[in-house]
Amino acid sequence: MLDLRLIREQPDAVERALADKGGAALIREIVARDGERRRLLTEVEELKALRNRASEAIGQAKRRGEDATAEQARMREVGERIATLDGEVKAVDEAIQALLVQVPNVPHPSVPPGKSDEENVEVRRWGTPRAFGFAPKPHEELGEALGLLDLARAVKIAKARFAVLWGPGARLERALAQFMLDLHTREHGYTELWVPHLVNAETMLKTGQLPKFEEQLFKTVEADESRTLYLIPTAEVSLSALHGGEVLPERTLPRRYTAFTPCYRREAGTYGKDMKGIYRQHQFDKVELVKITTPEQSYEELESMVANAEEVLRRLELPYRVVERCTGDVGFSAAKGYDIEVWRPAAGKYTEISSCSNYADFGGRRVDVRYKPERGKAEHCHTLNGSGLAVGRSLIAVLENYQEADGSVTIPRALRPYMDGLARLTRPPTP
């Protein structure tokens, strides 16, 4: 979350910075509540000082044998007033915290202005889209024809926006994930973790999923609400919360973590959008990248994270482009971010396959992870996250870009070692 001191000292600048992103309307309310809190604290401190002085005077009066009953009665009233004010301070603190968790991060000054993804800025492209001698088919047609993708049975056992992958399709999904993990751990310096897929509400709050994205989350139903657990929408949640409440030695930063997990999202508000195939699912696999850094490291680490995700696509020889998200599309917690979009020949356009973001100290403050320099006091870390990559969307890209005129699909060279040398997916024999 944002530093309350920043909002207190520069409310106008924060409001301007959030004009495109949203949340600016909360700033004045926070400032007003903060002013009320400081007024209450001033009164409490004055009354406590009065009580201390009076206690000393009462003690002296008693030692002189004087009657201090009236002053003691007055101090009891002061004590009751202090207790009342302490309760009011606590209530105001809670109100301020409830407002702060709703305020988005302030975009970095370098983020391009804009109100929606239509104003995102293309940074670079890699690869040339293949020229097909036939009309390329969408992945759902290819997958069903090859016996790899079964959406009908997924609907039967669950509902829409789930998928069953058969045989080589399931193996290709697993091969993609393993290839990504090997690349990130062996060449990019990430440590692999296996993390909980169910987390508590506090973890969701600290990682920025609550309250903003409540309607997008799946959760357990418990009679005791405090025991409710949420299915993670991405391993970013578990990885970012890993060091919550800890102080890390500066010499151990940056920390680079990766994890492969299923991810669960309701996709509320997207009915009718990307309904065909497996592009937008309630359950999907992803290899996540998370970094914990000092402020001086974070923006360089963001660029290297994007490069790490790009390398997956380069090894798979899939054309892509990188766009920088504008102020209106940069994301609730992000100070700066990029999308990587892979070429989809059947759609005739680039579509998102990875998002990489720097949350700056917004993330470190929210999850309460700090670092301790050799000299000086502990400060909040910067946190970063990105997809390295979305596995299902990578499978889509492989099917569509590597399809052949006879309906078969060539396996990218980088994946063949993970498929026992299999070079081509072909139609199953007719029974």
pLDDT in tens, 166-217: 999 999 999 999 999 999 999 999 999 999 999 999 999 999 999 999 999 9
Using the predicted structure, report yes or no on whether residue 55 has a pLDDT greater than 80.
yes
Q: Which residue in the list 37, 393, 394, 400 is annotated as catalytic?
A: 393
The structural domain count of the chain equals: 2
Domain boundary among 100, 133, 168: 100
pLDDT of residue 429: 66
Identity at 68, one-letter amino acid code: A
Q: Is the dihedral of CA 157, 163, 168, 171 positive or negative?
A: negative
Q: Is residue 430 assigned to a domain?
A: no
Q: Based on the fold, state whether residues 165 and 227 are members of the same structural domain.
A: yes
Give the C-alpha separation, 35 to 220, whole Å. 39
Q: Based on the fold, state whether residues 125 and 49 are members of the same structural domain.
A: no
Q: What is the DSSP letter of 227?
A: G
Q: Which residue in the list 352, 379, 404, 408 is annotated as catalytic?
A: 352
Q: Based on the fold, state whether residues 51 and 123 are members of the same structural domain.
A: no
| Sequence-distant (≥ 6) Cβ neighbours of residue 19 within 8 angstroms | 327
CA distances from 17 to 8, 24, 27, 101, 108 (A): 15, 8, 11, 17, 9
Which CATH number is 310's domain given? Answer: 3.30.930.10
Buried b (16+ CB within 10 A) or exposed e, 320-356: bbbbbbbbbbbbbbbbbbbbbbbbbbbeeebbebbbb
| 315 a catalytic residue | no
Q: Phi/psi of residue 133, each to 5°?
A: -90, 15
Q: Is residue 372 assigned to a domain?
A: yes
Q: Which residue in the list 171, 255, 265, 344 is annotated as catalytic?
A: 265
Identity at 254, one-letter amino acid code: P
Q: Can you read off the two tokens belonging to residue 327?
A: 């102020």
77-97 pLDDT tens trace: 999 999 999 999 999 999 999
| 394 a catalytic residue | no
Query: % helix / strand / coil in the chain, to the nearest 5?
Result: 45, 20, 35
Q: Based on the fold, state whether residues 89 and 169 are members of the same structural domain.
A: no
| 280 a catalytic residue | yes
| 265 a catalytic residue | yes
Domain assignment of residue 35, given as a range: 4-100
Task: Extract the runs of DSSP E, i.e. beta strands, from 267-327.
Answer: 283-293, 320-324
Q: Is residue 112 assigned to a domain?
A: no
Using the predicted structure, report yes or no on whether residue 53 has a pLDDT greater than 60.
yes
- Any idea how long the chain is? 431
Using the predicted structure, report yes or no on whether residue 28 has a pLDDT greater than 60.
yes
Using the predicted structure, report yes or no on whether residue 269 has a pLDDT greater than 90.
no
Q: Based on the fold, state whether residues 320 and 374 are members of the same structural domain.
A: yes
Contact 285, 264 (CB under 8 A): no
Q: Based on the fold, state whether residues 88 and 175 are members of the same structural domain.
A: no
The answer to pTM > 0.75 is yes
Which CATH number is 37's domain given? Answer: 1.10.287.40
Q: Is residue 110 assigned to a domain?
A: no
pLDDT of residue 430: 57
| 393 a catalytic residue | yes
Give the C-alpha separation, 91 to 89, whole Å. 5
pLDDT of residue 375: 87
Q: Which residue in the list 74, 81, 174, 280 is annotated as catalytic?
A: 280
Measured N-to-C along each axis, helices 168-186 and 298-315 cross at an angle, to the nearest 10 degrees, of: 140
pLDDT of residue 58: 84
Q: Can you read off the two tokens belonging to residue 255?
A: 């920390």
Q: Which residue in the list 238, 333, 355, 387 is annotated as catalytic?
A: 355
Using the predicted structure, report yes or no on whether residue 71 has a pLDDT greater than 90.
no
Q: Is the dihedral of CA 298, 107, 120, 342 positive or negative?
A: positive
Give the C-alpha separation, 395 to 417, whole Å. 16
Domain boundary among 54, 70, 100: 100
Q: Based on the fold, state whether residues 17 and 156 are members of the same structural domain.
A: no
